[in-house]
Amino acid sequence: MKELPARRLLLVHAHPDDESINNGVTMARYAAEGAHVTLVTCTLGERGEVIPQGLAHLSGAALGGHRRGELAAAMRALGVEDFRLLGGPGRFADSGMMGLSDNDDPGCLWRADVDEAAALLVEVIREVRPQVLVTYDPDGGYGHPDHIQAHRIAMRAVDLAAEAGCPVEKVYWNRVPRSRVEDDFARLRAALPDTPFDRAAGVEDVPGVVDDARITTEIRGEGTAYAAAKSAAMRAHATQITVDGPYFVLSNGLAQPVLTTEHYELVRGARARDGVESDLFAGIGTEEAS
C-alpha cells in the first residue's frame, strides 16, 4: 500500500460546494503543506437550486453529474487529489430542504441507516487513517437534513473506527465566531452599493455562528494564496455560487462575505494549549501510515 504523508485530514460534507465555502482555506493550506487531505461528500446535490440561467435546465441526475464536475474543478483549485462520494456516486441522494416531500425519498441521505452509512465512512478512515476529522455540528450548521445526517454519520464513524483500532485523535466542528462575522457584515453593508448584489444576508443566515468563547482553532488565510484558492474553488461551483471579490451569493441572492479565516470548535481530543490554536494538528505526534 502506498505510504501516506505524516499528517492526514478528513473532511465530511453533505453536498458539493459545502467544502469550499466552509473549509477552502484550510484544505488549500494543508494540501500545500504536504498533508494528505481527503474529502468525503455524501450526496451530489441533485436537488440544489441552479443560479445561472444558462444552466437552469439541469435537475436531478443531470444536475448531480454536473455538480460532480464542479467538485473536481474546485478540488483542482485547492490542490486536493483525494475526494470521494460516500459509498460511490449516487449511493445517497440529496434530501432537499427540511420539511419537503423530498425528505421521504427512500434513497435520500436523510432516510439512510446511520450505522450502514457510517460503516462506509469507516472504510475510508481505515484506509487513510486521519488524525483529524472536520464536519458539522449536530444541527448541521443550519438545519439542512443532509448536513444533520452528515454530522451523525461522521460522528458514528469515529466511534466505529475507534472500536476497529483506527482512532481519530481530534474531531472539529465548523464554526464562525459571532464578533468576527458581525464585523464582516458591517463592512459588507457599507460596500454593498459598489457590488453587483442588491441585498445583504444577515448573521443569522450564516451556518455555525457561535459565541467567540467556543472557538478553539482558527486557520488564517487573509492575503494568502489559500484565500485566492478558496475563492477559485467557490467559483468552480457555478451552479450554486456567484462570487464577486470578497463577497458571494447563493441562490437566495443575499450577499455574504467570503470568510478567509476559518474557525473550528474542537469537540474530541486534547487541546494543545490555552488560547486559540492555529493548527488543526496541534498536539498530535505525526506518524507515517502505510
- Residues forming beta bridges with residue 39, ordered by sequence position: 11, 83
DSSP string, the chain: -PPBPS-EEEEEESSTTHHHHHHHHHHHHHHHTT-EEEEEES---TTPPP-SGGGTT--HHHHHHHHHHHHHHHHHHHT--EEEETTSTTSSB---STTSGGGG-TTBGGGS-HHHHHHHHHHHHHHH--SEEEE--TTTTT--HHHHHHHHHHHHHHHHHHHTT---SEEEEEEEEHHHHHHHHHHHHHHGGGSS-SEE--GGGSTTEE-GGG--EEEE-TTSHHHHHHHHHHHH-TTT-EEETTEEE-TT-EEEE--SEEEEEEEES--SSSS-BS-TTTTPPP--B-
User: Residue 147 annotated as binding?
Assistant: yes
- Count Cα atoms within 13 angstroms, Cβ side, for 130: 28
How far out from the chain centre does Cα 47 lie?
18
Annotated binding site for Zn(2+): 15, 18, 147
Annotated binding site: 15, 18, 147
